[in-house]
Every structure is written in C-alpha cells, then in structure tokens.
Amino acid sequence: MKSQFRHIALIGKTHATLVGSALSASRQVMDKLTHFLHDQGCDVAIERETAAHLGMSGHQELDVKGIGADCDLALVVGGDGTMLGFGRQLAPYGVPLIGINQGRLGFITDIPLDKIEATLRPMLQGEYTEDRRSLLHAKVMRDDRCVFDAQALNDVVVNRGGTSGMVELRIEVDGHFVATQRADGLIISTPTGSTAYALSAGGPLLYPSLRGWLMVPIAPHTLSNRPLVLADPGEIVIELVSGRDASANFDMQSLASLLPGDRILVRRSQHHALFLHPRGWSYFDTLRKKLHWNEGVA
C-alpha cells in the first residue's frame, strides 16, 4: 500500500552539541528515513537548518513556513525538546508530527530508533492515533506595552535570578485575586508539560486531552502554597512585585528578563499541536515505561 501522506518533512536536532559520532549517527538515521520514505512513494523535504547542520545536500530544503505550506506530515528525529520547538512552530499550519526518539526520556517522541520502519509503515498507511495538544500564549507587559510575546507547549515559568533570593508574585485567575506568594518561581503548565518541570516541582500529572492547566509554585516560602489544577481558565496574570534578575521562560527555549511591575499574561493559544502515535498507543503505557512504574512486579 502507498502512503497516505504525499509530502513529508524530516526535521532533526540542530544544536551545536551534536558533533562527532552523534552527528554521524543522526545523519545515518536521516539517510535511512529518506530512502524508506521514497520507497513508500513519498516526496521528502529536509528542514533547512537540519540539512545545513547534518551536511545533507541534494535534497529539497524548506524552512518552517515552507513546511507548513507544502508538507502534510513532519517526522521529528530527536528528543522532546526538538519536538516541542517544532510542535510550536508548526501548530499554526496544522501539520501533524510524528516523533522518533533520539533523545533520553521521550514522552512525546515515542518511536524508538530500532523500530522506525516497522512502526512507520502502517502509520503512513493510516494506522495511527491522533493526539491534539493545547498551547499557551503568553505576553510580558511593561507599562501597558507588550515587550515579549511567545507560545509554549509545555509551560510558562517565572523564575528568580540565579544568585538572588526569592521572587514575590501577585497572581490573578480570570480577574480574581488568588495570592501574593514568595517562592523561587511559578509554573503555569499545560497537560503536556505536567510530565516536565511541573512534575519535578511536585505537581500532578494531567491527561493530555484535559482542558485544564496546572499552577505549581517552585519552592514556596509558605509550604501551604500547593499546586492547583485549573479548569481551562481564560487568563492568568502574574505580576512581579519584587525580585532581582527574574525571568519568564517559555518551554525553557525562549526567555524574557523581568523588571518589578512587569505582568505576564497567560491565555490559551488559538492553535493546537497535532501528534500522531502508532495505533494502540496509550498514555498510560508511556507513563509506566518512562516513569518506571511497576518495576520489580511479576
């Protein structure tokens, strides 16, 4: 059977730490995927920065805008960070993504390298499960002027400076005052991000399809400040009351420096990331495997 996808983009890691044997291994995976996809009757494009970093010439090269306009599927080879970055960028175009795990944990890149062809073949023929993930849209406001605007698939995090003390934050949800708290920071997380920084800070896990967010304090001064599960709020406002060298991070991939009085406005993005998983995929299977549940149980 021929693939249901006509034009497929290949995306890989492009960061500078990918050198030597790791760079060679990534190039081999990309070459293998290119040949495999051609055999399935697909046209293949390489994301432009990926092609430059891996030295892959002789293929069609497209930037993110070109992938959004011309491709009907993107295969992302890397870790969750790579998947997060391109999931955000491709969300406005509605291009689905399949994650191939060349990283460590792999909560959202769930195809192992040694099972690429066996797993992809039925998926390309329509045997897959769709998984829509919500995004956050955040703005940093300073004197009623937007100084930073970003989207996040995992979380928006307000952090104290590396050498400074706690920050003091005033929090509102849908216009209602919640609290003024002193802490190392605050995490606003999507269900996707509930297995990331929010989990490390003591937050609960949220099923990916839930229309809700997490609000998780980071090392709060008052221990009764606990994580909250919010039922799809319209807007969260976080005001930096005090604190030196504070910052707002978006998926830990973009950053804005904050000044006292700055307000971070967090709303639901109008876009969704669309992931495709192998037929029979289960979120609970992922949790058991990645979090090592039931180890030692017969």
Q: Which domain holds residue 228?
A: 135-270
Residue type, 74: A
pLDDT at 19 over 60: no
Identified catalytic residue from 80, 110, 155, 251: 80
Give the pLDDT band (50/70/90) at residue 207: very high
Into how many domains does the chain fold? 2
pLDDT at residue 20, as a whole number: 65
pLDDT at 1 over 80: no
Percent of the chain with pLDDT over 90: 80
Q: Give the count of alpha carbons within 13 A of 213, CB side only.
A: 26
pLDDT at residue 70, as a whole number: 97
pLDDT at residue 16, as a whole number: 52
- Which uninterrupted H or E stretch holds 117? helix 116-124
Say what the pTM is: 0.92
Q: Are residues 212 and 241 in the same domain?
A: yes
Percent of the chain with pLDDT over 70: 96
Q: Are residues 180 and 242 in the same domain?
A: yes
Query: Each residue of 153-191: pLDDT tens digit?
Result: 999 999 998 777 899 999 999 999 999 999 999 999 999
Give the pLDDT band (50/70/90) at residue 284: very high
Q: Are residues 145 and 216 in the same domain?
A: yes
Asked if the structure places residue 287 within a domain, the reply is no
pLDDT at 281 over 60: yes
Residue type, 200: S
Asked if the structure places residue 282 within a domain, the reply is no
80 counts as catalytic: yes
**Angle, alpha carbons 156-162-168 (nearest 5°):** 60
Query: What is the per-residue DSSP string for 12-79?
Result: E--STT--HHHHHHHHHHHHHHHHHHHHTT-EEEEEHHHHHHHT--SSEEE-HHHHHHH-SEEEEEE-
